[in-house]
Structure 1
Amino acid sequence: MSPVNATGTPLLPKLTAIPPGIATPCDYRQAAQARLDAKAWAYLDGGAGDELTVQRNRLAFDAVNFTPSMLTDVRGGHTRCSLFGQDFTHPIVLAPVAYQRLFHDEGELATVQAAGALEACVAVSTLATTRLETLAGHATGPLWFQLYIQPDRAFTSALVARAEQAGYQALIVTIDAPIGGLRNREQRASFDLPSGLGAVNLAGMPTPQAAPAGPSRVFDQAMLHAPTWQDIEALRKQTRLPLIIKGILSVADARRAEACGADGIIVSNHGGRVLDTVPPALDVLPAIAAATGERLTLLFDSGIRRGSDVAKAIALGADAVLVGRPWLYGLAAAGALGVAHAIHLLREELEVTMALLGCRTLGELKTRQVCCVAATH
């Protein structure tokens, strides 16, 4: 029996050319769905619980309106920025995404290849299906490493050391997923990893000692080795890399990250994939930006689908953004070509938005009153 895609029809082959009708990155969504089985599609497209936060992330962007400044001279404008002493031609970072070979046989290699061609930074996941050293060997652009702190802290330290030795330029520590979220769409699709596909960077990790029997599988087992702020302090002492904390949704946690020595934070609700009904990340961004000032580099993640969304996040306080699903749809549909095209579209949309707003630089986006937020959304 031929494999079927998420719509129940035979899987279509991957695209080898950009098809007509692709005007925005998310135009790849339908093409991706047609080329993935139900399990992989549930993992890529789904969220936690009833997926309300996934929806509200988008509603938050929809509720932000632009106020352009007309007849402004924007000749010589650009999207350049500096993050952690590194210079970038644009503020779009490819977010860390696990198990990319679920979506395309080349997985992370295709992503890194495309990002290098478009001068985009890639955040490589702990749960990548390609060794971090292999990706560094193929990269022509900047790489950051995203860390999930493992139960074995010595193994975690060794993982960080591997990233440093391989030439990664920053360390992202994700703190909002000490256990997996309740992804009901994946459960209904009976999601599991295909044979032969796994988190190769965790190979050889010692199995944690079995927890004593307790009444709760969550509190007495899954959370037994969960990280705390003390682990962040320990990592700060261990690594020379810029330390970025991902998963911040409150001023209190932003200040705690700063106190632990973080160089930057990522305002993020994990794209709605961990805990449902947390606030849209965009809604909490302005308050966190006001509280951290220029002391921390502030990045944003969760809900971006267009270059105009990038502009809104920067106007509301972010220095740069992380993007996930738009280029993942491109990866699933067309491999490196789809990723590169999605990044190109995002950057061009950002440039057009800036030009029409009358902003020549990202700094002008942040300092001018170019956004207003609707009363409700």
Structure 2
Amino acid sequence: MQVFHNKSKVIVTCNKRLSPYLQKEVAELGYTIVRAFSTGVELNITLTECIKLNLNLRCASQILYCINSFNASNPDELYKGLVAMEWEELIDFSGYFSVTSNVDNPTITTPLFANLKVKDAIVDRIKAQKGIRPNSGSDANKTVVHLYWKDNEVDVFLDTSGETLAKHSYRKIPGKAPMLEALATSVILATQWDQKSPFVNPMCGSGTLAIEAALLATNRRPGLYRMNYGFMHILGYDEEVFFAERRILKEQVIKNVDLQIVASDLSEDAVEVSRRNAKTAGVDTLITFEVCDFERTQVPQTGKGVVVFNPEYGERLGVHSQLELTYKRMGDFMKKQCKGYFGYIFTGNPDLAKKIGLKADKKIEFYNGKLDCRLLEYELYDGSRRPDEERPKRT
């Protein structure tokens, strides 16, 4: 199987409601989208081309390369279709692989059983061909096979990512209730920020929003922080392609930028975690960290920018009654100290959002895990409110 050079169906997945931002990323990298859907996009490319995607995408989760499709109505037929495949041409018999799946078939009550059938077929095939059985388990740090089985239709993929791309590998200390990096990037891309004007992140927590803002503004891609992907453990992998793509990433970094990014938190520990994560990402010198109540955050007055809050929702952290006052204070802070800015509050609690005391110009839908969330946008005009026809339009 010359998988690295053959074009095939490729599914790039993402979390729900991140697809519009993923689509834009993929298109900007020069790829033609065959199909877009709520949790990803479909392409027709080679496995080698997947390497570039893995290193560049900020909003994606997995990049799946299809190696076979067939029909199977039950586990026995699934096994027969899988054991006939030339797995010895894909997986080193002395190596290690894991299996993930998305199964919707009436004969399957648990995806773990489907996973076991896939593992059995791969092991039996390689043992029959090579006389040695490869190891398998749940770790996604080597070869990863993904099964998509809906009704009678089976697609078998190689997961070229392995560990999820939604984590960008610089955050060694997560902090409390951290926002996933892919979500943080998408939230920033949903704002009016031009990646040049000030970016202010009160209540910064572990610093993900501020760090992702700095990474976007300097064109630092996730591939700079990661050295292991699923594609590296597939037979036929040429490491020169990976290192060539990585050199391009380094050359594309924008240096000597004039940025004003401010991250503040009342917790000294949170700010220290943020600072250390930013240092790992190589952007600590681009962010001004402050230990203070959010109302005392220094908002640059040199130009229009954005201020972005990701407060507690009253679900996992904090107490609802105490948060009502906090949300009101956030509204007062934006109204009084952020004139000329666009203000954003990301929340999963619509009742608390009513306490902000400002009318949102937009309510952009996101999920944080399984929690239905909104990114509330406020134009914090300086002076009289501009007529609608004079206000900026989202492109």
Normalised to the residue count of structure 2, the TM-score between the two structures is 0.27
Where relative contact order (Cα < 8 A, 6+ residues apart) is larger, the structure is: 1
Structure number, greater radius of gyration: 2
